[in-house]
Structure 1
Amino acid sequence: MALNEPLNRKLRMALVGGGQGSFIGRVHSIAACLDNRATLVAGALSSNPERAKASAPDYGIAEDRAYTSYQEMLEAELKLPEGERIDFVSIATPNHVHFEVADAAIKAGFNVVCDKPMTFDLAQAEQLLETVQANDAVFALSHNYTGYPLVRQAREMIASGELGEINAVRAQYIQGWLRTSLEEEDQKQAAWRTDPSKSGAAGAFGDIATHAYNLGRYMTGLFPDQVSCSLKTFVEGRKLDDYGTAVIRYENGALGTVTASQISHGRENDLEIEIDGTKGSLRWRQENPNEMIYRQNGKAHQILTRDPNAPFMNSMGAAACRLPSGHPEAFFEAFANVYASAFDAMAERAAGKSVEKKDTVYTNCYDGVEGMYFIQQCVASSGENAAWVPLKHEAARR
């Protein structure tokens, strides 16, 4: 099959952010190009014009398409012939820049893949949703953990009723890298993540608890109703939370917990989720992503491994695999699966088809609004001594 039919070519990518010292920008560029369906041709890689230009050779971006601002990039790309200009913009900046870039790119007619959380605050998220609804561009949010084959396996298992009614969801994301005040040592990643003017109202909860919360929503499909949350800052002088726990009441009566830490010694990227249903339970860990434990009372525990040819793999899980069993697939491949799903939608748009915006395999703008509402309500609850507050966002469900 030709690449990205009916385009029959690679999609042309632009990257905003991701300049020297960035982690996630490099991940976006690798993931987008992993399946040979895209090529990085342009970028506005830093808010610092000199750094933006200096970073371009690291990505192989030609000098004439190494822009010093996203505004310059969008304007210049629109002037190019349609057969040369970019197809989509990937946003890999600190949170406070997400909205302005995404909003401008969509209004200019370009597709967007944006890093999480979607925006700086809920008001921006709701405004961006209006922009997405009013335009035909594809918008995807890079909650990359939803791209793991066994996560998608679990999603289909739950949707088909294999676990029965879901009673409980326990998700946690535990790190230890901010145990000390790295932000005071000019460490770039720590500096913006602990700065409320760049990160937003939450620290660890805005950075990694959103992944844990989103994973539960993605796998179970349960709608939240209320949340009670306690956030804590343990490192003296830090302006945002570095630890917290939320309890969630779902509409079907299930209970959920989300715990996030960035101050737990020796912990790296320990994202884990357990889901209890009336017929069975699942457990999956991101640090061992090619195995998932399936349990039923009275039966031997099963370890489901990532194997695209195994009879126990369902269609969604198998479709997310690239390699035979025994060859580990992990972070980059999962990230690339988010891009692959978004590319399918971009190709449909290019074919003149109406693009689904809400019921998508990749996380979308509606999911992004839910994520921002989760952050806002957790901060609000914590400020009221863990009071129960609403977690049902009607606009994100329409």
Structure 2
Amino acid sequence: MKLARKIRMGMVGGGPGAMIGPIHRLAAALDGQIELVCGVFSSSHKKSLETAKSIHLAPDRVYENFQQMMDEEAALPADQRMDFVSIVTPNHMHFPVAAAALAKGFHVLCDKPATLNLDEAIQLSERLNSSGLLYGLTHTYAGYPMVKQARALVAEGVLGNIRKVLVEYPQGWLAGSRIELSSKQAEWRLDSARTGLSSCVGDIGSHAAHICEYVINDSISEICADLGSVVSGRILDDDATVILRFTGGARGVLIASQICAGEENTLKLRVYGEKGGLEWSHSDPNSLHYKPANQPAQILRAGGPGLAHVAAANCRTPSGHPEGYLEAFANHYRNFAGQIDARLTGRNPSDVEADVPGIADALRGMRFIESAVKASTSDQKWYRLPPLVGIDN
């Protein structure tokens, strides 16, 4: 994928002590097609300048706040200003930064979840539609080639009608009490003012829900949820089990937990249809296990033969050379940059470039988070997710 020029990126968030910001910067730089040209990395200008110095970014493109960045970047000549902003802040800042960027004519790529709540996501969708600009959401796991291969196989009908979806995402990093006193990452994720209604479902449950919907290309329609604050003293959930029903008739189970002591980041997806099943695990992301009914199981490998076009296009190395988390992130950045390049050059984006989670994923994600919280406190067995205008058929 050759672009006419480098795509210029600004960043909000990702300063000292941040976890995801540096990962976004590495991912954006991986293919040499995106250049970080400006930023507001912290609410402290001094800390923003420290970050800029550490990554060799010119101090005159480091701004006091995000609104100043939008105003001054928009005033620059077209061949200097940023093309899009990457938002890597805690959740409560996602909407105001995105709204400010859209108002000044900049495309937006945002870490998930899209906003603090569903109402903000709906407002964001309305502003995006009226702006005509591009929006992407970095649901990392949809960037893995073998997750894309799983989606392609389901779309081809290899499994037949989908019957069952099982997804689990156990972590153990919040298993201890009072960890938020010593961890910046835990501190804001357990604060409802900055993370929203949910910690566990908002942080990792939303990833689990997204990978289900992405692979089977279907929406969650009803849920039965049990969210809990296992560690004493917590207000927000750190553990969740959600039974799923999909629009197309499939049923599923989603388990997400941050208190599974000893676990790291163990996302696993299994999909079963009438003709066979698929299994993908984050611990071995370059393999996709295909289990046809009444035939020997197969293992498809990233970079290997027989992959769908979109999966092969998101592989960088030959089979046997591991690709992982950074490359999956980088796929979203590279493909989003391709969409911007298509706008700049007047061409239609390719199917590969178009395969970046967008505003529909943002809306469904926020709907799932809020619905899981409401369903967990409801006496109703099955909670039907509210319809989204322009998203649900």
Normalised by the shorter chain, which TM-score bucket? over 0.9
How far is the alpha carbon of 1:386 from its aligned partner? 6.2
One of 272, 277, 284 as aligned partner of 1:276: 272
**Cα separation, 2, equivalents of 1:177 and 1:383:** 25
How far is the alpha carbon of 1:179 from its aligned partner? 0.5
Contact 1:136 1:355 in 2 (8 A): no
Contact 2:167 2:208 in 1 (8 A): yes
The CA deviation string for residues 81-129 of structure 1, in whole angstroms up to 9 with x for no partner, is 1110101100000000000001110121111110000000000000000
Which residue of structure 1 lines up, in the alignment, with residue 121 of structure 2?
125
AA matched with 1:70 = F
One of 109, 129, 133 as aligned partner of 1:137: 133
The CA deviation string for residues 21-40 of structure 1, in whole angstroms up to 9 with x for no partner, is 11110111111111110011
**Cα separation, 2, equivalents of 1:212 and 1:39:** 31
Contact 1:53 1:68 in 2 (8 A): no
Contact 2:220 2:247 in 1 (8 A): yes
SS state at 2:267 partner: strand
The CA deviation string for residues 45-80 of structure 1, in whole angstroms up to 9 with x for no partner, is 011222222221122211101112111111111111
Q: Does 1:376 align with 2:370?
A: yes
Which residue of structure 2 lines up, in the alignment, with residue 299 of structure 1?
295
After TM superposition, list the pairs within 5 Å mapping 1:1-398 onto structure 2: 3-4=2-3, 8-308=4-304, 310=305, 312-352=306-346, 360-385=354-379, 387-395=381-389, 396-397=391-392
Bigger shift: residues 367-376 or 340-349: 340-349
The CA deviation string for residues 244-296 of structure 1, in whole angstroms up to 9 with x for no partner, is 11111112221011110101111111111000011110000012101111112
Bigger shift: residues 116-125 or 27-36: 27-36
AA matched with 1:238 = R
The CA deviation string for residues 209-242 of structure 1, in whole angstroms up to 9 with x for no partner, is 0001000111101122211101011111112100
**Cα separation, 2, equivalents of 1:231 and 1:133:** 34
AA matched with 1:145 = Y
AA matched with 2:273 = G
The CA deviation string for residues 129-152 of structure 1, in whole angstroms up to 9 with x for no partner, is 001111121100000110101000
Label 1:247 to 1:183 Cα distance change in 2 as closer, same or farther (>3 A).
same
Label 1:323 to 1:151 Cα distance change in 2 as closer, same or farther (>3 A).
same
Label 1:389 to 1:355 Cα distance change in 2 as closer, same or farther (>3 A).
farther
Which residues of structure 2 form unaligned runs of 5+?
none
AA matched with 1:397 = D
**Cα separation, 2, equivalents of 1:352 and 1:317:** 25
How far is the alpha carbon of 1:348 from its aligned partner? 1.5
**Cα separation, 2, equivalents of 1:386 and 1:240:** 21
Matched residue pairs, number? Answer: 391
SS state at 1:246 partner: strand
**Cα separation, 1, equivalents of 2:73 and 2:138:** 24
Contact 1:366 1:397 in 2 (8 A): no
How far is the alpha carbon of 1:183 from its aligned partner? 4.0
AA matched with 1:233 = S
Label 1:397 to 1:342 Cα distance change in 2 as closer, same or farther (>3 A).
farther
Which residues of structure 1 form unaligned runs of 5+?
none
Bigger shift: residues 123-132 or 56-65: 56-65
SS state at 1:41 partner: strand
AA matched with 1:382 = S
AA matched with 1:57 = K
**Cα separation, 2, equivalents of 1:386 and 1:34:** 48
AA matched with 2:378 = E
Contact 1:230 1:385 in 2 (8 A): no
AA matched with 2:320 = G
Label 1:387 to 1:52 Cα distance change in 2 as closer, same or farther (>3 A).
farther
The CA deviation string for residues 285-325 of structure 1, in whole angstroms up to 9 with x for no partner, is 012101111112322221111124x1x21112111100001
Give the aligned CA root-mean-square deviation in angstroms.
1.8
Contact 1:43 1:67 in 2 (8 A): yes
AA matched with 2:362 = G
Label 1:349 to 1:373 Cα distance change in 2 as closer, same or farther (>3 A).
same
